[in-house]
Structures are given as C-alpha cells and as structure tokens.
A and B are shown apart, each in its own frame.
Chain A
Amino acid sequence: KNEVEQSPQNLTAQEGEFITINCSYSVGISALHWLQQHPGGGIVSLFMLSSGKKKHGRLIATINIQEKHSSLHITASHPRDSAVYICAVSSPFTGNQFYFGTGTSLTVIP
C-alpha cells in the first residue's frame, strides 16, 4: 500500500467546471505538497501546507491533519490547467524523504 493515495487517477472536465482532487496519506507528516507536472515533464510546486487552507488564484488547497486528507480545488477550470497533479508528503520520521502519490491526470476540454 502506498503511503500517499490520490483520487481520481484520471479526470476529464468541461471548461469552467469546479474540480476537486483528493489525497490521503498514512504517515505522520511535516508538510503536504501539491505539485503540477505538465506534459513536457517539468514539475512545479503549487502549494506546501501543514494546516488549514491556502489559495492562489483559482487554486485552493486544504488539509485536515486529523483525517490525514487533503484536497486540491480548481475553480473555473481552463484547458491550460490540463496537467498531472501530484500530492506529496514530507515526513519528519524519514529525514529528507518525500512520498509521492501516483498523480491525477486532468484534462479540461474547451
């Protein structure tokens, strides 16, 4: 079983739809990260959070430490949001190691 589980694996949405990607983890963490990987492969860090909620533009990330769950929301989705979104956690028990989810492939159709 992976330390980090994401759902759904694949998601297709119409432009303008509200999108939610979920992440559950099973280890104690120091922080949870949401990453975006574009088709070319490059990865960009979207959020790092250890509690509560963060917002950046149309992206919102929330985390519930007690339930070991995080969500990434995209409001008013756009085709340029099409990418793979990866949830990762850093654990104080494993030094520098990050655990990665398998990613959610999002396609937003115009």
Chain B
Amino acid sequence: GAVVSQHPSRVICKSGTSVKIECRSLDFQATTMFWYRQFPKQSLMLMATSNEGSKATYEQGVEKDKFLINHASLTLSTLTVTSAHPEDSSFYICAAKPIRGENEKLFFGSGTQLSVL
C-alpha cells in the first residue's frame, strides 16, 4: 500500500529555535498534502493544505509566518516551525492524497512529537 514517510518522529528543541519536519510520499505522487496538529486526546486539527508548486492554504488562526510550508515536489512537503515556543509543543502529522488510484484516501505519516523546552 501507499507509504508516507515523516521525520523526525520526535524532536526536542530549545525555545526560539526552528524545527523542520519532512513528509515524503514514497511510492506515489501527491499534489496535495495536509498538515495536522493533534493535542493529547483530541482530534486532528487541520493547520494547512499544501499544494505542489503553489502557496499553502492556511486554516484560520494558523500563523503563516510561524508555520512555514514548502511543497517543493510531488513527493515532498516540509513544515518548519519557526522560533518555536513551549506552546508549539504538540504532535504534528502529515497526510498525502494520491494523484491517481486511491485519490479519495488519505495516507498518513507516522507523526512528529515536538517538545519545546
């Protein structure tokens, strides 16, 4: 089945630093990738929709300058948390929608647990 690789799986960083999270679709192309944030025992919250070759679409309340998204190719999207603060500590997970085949499905990465000290 389709595989989405996300890393790092866990990162601990100091307040004020930037963290980059990568999301790769390994065996399919995805024009659209999604970035979600999940707090403990809560549902996935869509942060932004990443489209290959164009600017990401951010959900209301998500700061574009803080959460930088780059969708450089049909298989790679990155999320950079800039100047991270403790309140940014959360579980971040990406998902990709295939161009062809099972394009109604979402394939998820394994997630990144970010802890900002």
Interface positions of A (Cβ within 8 A of B):
2, 30-31, 33, 35, 40-45, 48, 86, 88, 90, 96-98, 100-103, 105
Asked whether, in the complex, the Cβ of A40 is within 8 Å of the Cβ of B34, the reply is: no
Interface pairs A-B: 9 shortest CB-CB: A41-B111, A43-B108, A42-B110, A102-B43, A100-B43, A100-B44, A31-B104, A48-B105, A96-B32
A2–B42 alpha-carbon span in the complex (Å): 12
Asked whether, in the complex, the Cβ of B104 is within 8 Å of the Cβ of A90, the reply is: yes
Interface positions of B (Cβ within 8 A of A):
9, 32, 34, 38, 41-44, 46, 49, 91, 93, 95, 97, 102, 104-111, 113
Asked whether, in the complex, the Cβ of B108 is within 8 Å of the Cβ of A33, the reply is: no
Give the residues in chain B near A48, CB-CB below 8 Å.
102, 104-105
Given contacts A101-B43, A102-B43, contact A45 B105 (CB under 8 A): yes
Give the residues in chain B near A101, CB-CB below 8 Å.
43
20 A-B pairs with CB atoms under 8 Å apart are: A40-B111, A41-B38, A41-B93, A41-B110, A41-B111, A42-B108, A43-B93, A43-B95, A43-B108, A45-B106, A45-B108, A86-B43, A90-B104, A96-B34, A96-B49, A96-B97, A97-B46, A100-B43, A101-B43, A102-B43
**Chain B nearest CB, measured from A28 CB (Å):** 15
Q: Which residue of A lies closest to B42 (CB)?
A: A102
Give the residues in chain A near B104, CB-CB below 8 Å.
30-31, 48, 90
Give the residues in chain B near A90, CB-CB below 8 Å.
104
Asked whether, in the complex, the Cβ of A98 is within 8 Å of the Cβ of B43, the reply is: no
A33–B97 alpha-carbon span in the complex (Å): 13
Q: Pick the contact of A33 from B91, B93, B106, B109 — CB < 8 Å?
A: B106
A44–B38 alpha-carbon span in the complex (Å): 16
Asked whether, in the complex, the Cβ of B91 is within 8 Å of the Cβ of A41, the reply is: yes
Give the residues in chain A near B107, CB-CB below 8 Å.
45
Give the residues in chain B near A40, CB-CB below 8 Å.
9, 110-111
Asked whether, in the complex, the Cβ of A33 is within 8 Å of the Cβ of B110, the reply is: no
Asked whether, in the complex, the Cβ of B106 is within 8 Å of the Cβ of A98, the reply is: yes
A42–B111 alpha-carbon span in the complex (Å): 6
